[in-house]
Amino acid sequence: MEAAPTISTQGLTRRFGELLAVDGIDLQVSPGQFFGFLGPNGAGKSTTIKMLTGLLAPSSGRIEILGIDLTAHPVEVKRQIGVVPEGMALFGRLTGPEFLNFAGRMYGLDRETTAKRAAELLDFMQLADQPKKLVTDYSHGMQKKLAMAAAVIHGPKVLFLDEPFEGVDAIAAGTLKTMLQGMIARGATIFLTSHVLEIVERLCSHVAIIHKGRLVAQGSLEELRAGVEAQTPAGLVDNSGDGSVNGARPSGEKMTLEQIFLRTVGGSRPAEQELSWLG
Amino acid sequence: MIEPMTTNKSGQLRAIAWLRWRLFVNGLRSKRARLELLSQVIVSIAFAIGGFGGAAVMAGMTFFILERGKPELIAILLWIVFFFWQLFPIMATAFTNNPDSSELLRFPLSYRSYFLVRMAYGAFDPATFLGSLWSFGILLGVGFAKATLLPWTLLVLLTFAAFNLLFMQMIFAWVERWLAQRRTREVLGILFVLVMLSLQMIGPLTGYFGRRARPGVIKFVEAIYPAQGILPPGLAADAVTQAISSQFMTSVSSLALLCAFALIIGYSLHVRLLAQYRGENLSEVAAASALPRDRSLRLGWNLPGFSSPVAAVFEKEIRYLLRSGPMLLTLIMPIFVLVIFRFGPMHSVRHSGSFLARTPDTAFPAAAGYTLLMLTNLVYNNFGGDAGGIQFFLASPVSFREIVLGKNLTHAAILAVETIVAWMGVSYLYGRPTFDVTIATLAGLLFAAPVNFSVGNLLSIYSPKKLDYSTFGRQRASQVTVLISLGLQIVVVGIGATVFWVARHYGNSWIATVILLLLAGISLSGYAVVLGRMDHIAEEWRETLVAELCRA
């Protein structure tokens, strides 16, 4: 018997005036999945993640997280999820330890547990060396790690991450990946958006692609690959000649996520369209 | 081969002017922005009245001074213009618009164009508008009194205006440099408040010690008077005055000195802007310190009777406040005002048997009211300092009612502490207020505070504005909030004053207490209703909150 989805949307739609940013998305994310949510710029990724985390109201449609209706019971849902939104949602004039203490208590932990977990997280994230430093004085990578620590301090069952690796150096990215993989191993579900397709390919077991507000592909990487490969004749070389872009598949090799992505969203460009004045 | 790119300077300047215009027009797309524009129109009308009214006064005074044969007094008018032009942008930051021109540096803008853009931004400041109009008033006054001097005075005043514009931009450019780093920013903020407070003390202290030290003061003024003559406003005045006396050589030399000042200031501005233009790095990411790790666990605050999230919000708010030098220092203003009144005009009428003769009983309600007024910066823009942190509030499993309650508890705690300090200050400076007046004042606060908190909570959501509590000059408040809060204060103070007047009329302060407690019951009920609806309102307005507070 298949387990009930952790994240489920039906006909999720969001309009901004005339613009249809998200158009009737039906999304299913099962428990324990590391789910990558991809799409070109302006496709509706951030709008979707904001709706899934209660930061933005849908124009229509239904969202269920862990089987609970988000619109009807927002507080119950928020208690079980962690979020690192686009702007990281930090309080700049607190120190790192103060912010984590604050976050833990806002998520309903008692003072002792909060303090203990805050100390552990600061250690793990290598942020414990400068306890008096204000968050506003942190580097971008440090802020990302702190935002991540605040999102997991209550041990959420579902974690939503909007571009968690953007502007993060390799060392910090390694720390974050280790933590996320540990969470997956313990049964949590992670939903992330990212433009770094290599990272998504390495981390995520399942992927959905959104394009112009519509969900154009959803499934495991293998399912997506099989679907795209079935439509792409093997050995076809793309017009750039390197065999790695525009969604074409070099003969005998597995398609990369980047190729699947480009093929799915139609990222190829007509050969005659060139900017001849560029050097 | 790529052809070398030539830059069209006038085209660039036109593009920047177009950019400012489009930013303005595109900013009017939402209803809220249009409401903001309406408020700005009202404020602009007030500025226009101040500008044209001030120009008329300046013209009249100049004419009067010249008719009386005392042209040297023009210096006083020019000093007024100078101080206003330079101090208004710093003191009235809510009305000052100082866009960050360094964002244009990514484009191939020549240094000359960059300098010109910076000056153009300054030219659209309200202080420049008013200062120019007042200078024009002086010009008119001279024209009416001595028409032949009009061209010369025009030249002098244009030079004076150019000096003021350069000086204002130079101050902003250097202050920006110091504000770029948090530590210097906070030190500068505290210094600024201390200077402002010291300036406010000059009048009262002069009045208090004036009678005893009058000969000394006169001697001092006589000693420094020649010094003002070699400073820009004095030089501009001298250039006009000497021309009236037909001392043309002296007049020309004064103008030359004024030009020299403008050049020196211009050079100082050039040094700063050139550093910006060359891409100076003011990053304040400190090197990692080698402090030993503090392994002790630090527990959050506990607030008996309130939930853990409310206590956490309370703790966060207090910590924010304690790290916000400018905001913290504004909270000591009520005590300062008590001191000012103690040594100022109130002192002189203390024994006159007038209304103010009962100072302790008047000073305490006044100080308590002023305390509440000082809190409006915080109360009417609850989330302004949180900036991107608003997303944390919206994503957390805590009802907005609790978050707002935590913030209001902070405000109430500050009000309580300040009221106690005010009571002690009044007792020390004026004598202890009577028991019935003390109770009536507390009842008044019990009425006024919930009214302010209720309206403040609503405006904080309907009309939020991102603020940097630590920085002077970048705290432009929402004009809608400014106007509504001003109106509410007039109504609340009006009700309070009427109640106290009725009580005085019947010679019984307990009447005021009873009426104010009844009003407090109503306002507390209203507060409870508003607080109860906070979740619903925040949900409806969450996009406005995020859009306004999370913008870069």
- Chain-chain contact of A136 with B182 (C-beta, under 8 angstroms): yes
- pLDDT digit string, tens, across residues B312-326: 999 999 988 887 766
Bridge-based pairing of strands A189-193 and A158-162 is: parallel
CATH class of A31-53+74-217: alpha beta
- Please state the rounded mean pLDDT for residues B403-419: 93
Q: Work out the angle between the directed axes of helices B435-462 and B542-549 (0-180°, nearest 10).
A: 90
CB pairs under 8 A between A and B: 134
Cα distance between residue B500 and residue B512, in whole Å: 6
For residues A162 and A85, the answer to whether their CB atoms sit within 8 Å is: yes
Nearest to B131 by CA among B81, B57, B80, B187: B81
- Predicted structure pTM score: 0.71
CA gap B449, B372 in Å, rounded: 7
Q: Which residues of B touch A119 (CB under 8 A)?
A: 295, 297
For chain A, where do the domains classified as CATH 3.40.50.300 start and end?
31-53+74-217
A229–chain B Cβ distance below 8 A for any pair: no
- Among B308, B405, B545, B550, most A C-beta atoms within 10 A, so best to mutate, is B308
Mean pLDDT of B249-274: 92
pLDDT of B513 higher than 80: yes
Query: In this model, does residue B474 exceed pLDDT 80?
Result: no
- Measured in angstroms, the CA of A171 and the nearest CA of chain B are apart by 16
Residue of A nearest to B290 (CA): A129
The residue-averaged pLDDT of B364-382 equals: 84
Between A25 and B218, name the one with better pLDDT. Answer: A25
CA atoms within 13 A on the CB side of B427: 11
Q: Domain-by-domain residue ranges, chain B?
A: 9-20+30-277, 308-549
Contact B323 A134 (CB under 8 A): yes
- Please say if the pLDDT value at position B41 is more than 60: yes
**Which residues numbered 134-163 in A keep a CB inside 8 Å of some CB on B?**
134, 136-137, 139, 150
What pLDDT is attached to residue A99?
92
A115 and B CB contact within 8 Å: yes
A78–B297 C-beta distance less than 8 A: no
pLDDT computed for residue B217 by the predictor: 62
Q: Which residue has the tokens 């109770």?
A: B439
Query: Which of A106, A110, A121 should one mutate to test binding to chain B, selecting the residue with the greatest count of B CBs within 10 A?
Result: A106
Least CB–CB distance from A114: residue in B300, B391, B397: B300
Please, what is the end-to-end C-alpha distance for chain B in angstroms?
39
Classify B4 in phi/psi space as left (phi over 0), alpha (psi -120 to 50) or beta. beta
Model confidence pLDDT, tens digit, residues A119-152:
999 999 989 888 888 888 888 889 999 999 999 9
Nearest CA in chain A to B394: A55
Predicted local distance difference test score (pLDDT) of residue B287: 44
Distance from CA of B105 to the nearest CA of A (A): 22
**Closest approach of B178 to chain A, Cα-based (Å):** 16
Of A50-54, B15-19, B46-50, B70-74, the one with minimum mean pLDDT is B15-19
Distance from CA of A111 to the nearest CA of B (A): 6
pLDDT, position B536:
92
- Quickly list H helices, chain A: 45-52, 74-80, 96-106, 111-124, 140-152, 170-185, 197-203, 221-231, 257-265
Query: Would you state the pLDDT for residue B253?
Result: 92
Q: Does A88 touch chain B (CB under 8 A)?
A: yes
ipTM of this predicted complex? 0.79
Does A105 contact B397 at a Cβ distance shorter than 8 Å?
no
- The nearest CA of chain A is from the CA of B421 a distance in Å of 27
CA nearest A90 in B: which residue? B389
* Minimal CA separation from A185 to chain B, in Å: 25
Contact A131 B291 (CB under 8 A): yes
User: Is A75 in contact with B399 (Cβ distance < 8 A)?
Assistant: yes
Distance, CA of A197 to CA of A37 (rounded, Å): 10
A105, A142, A152: best to mutate for the B interface, most B CBs within 10 A: A105
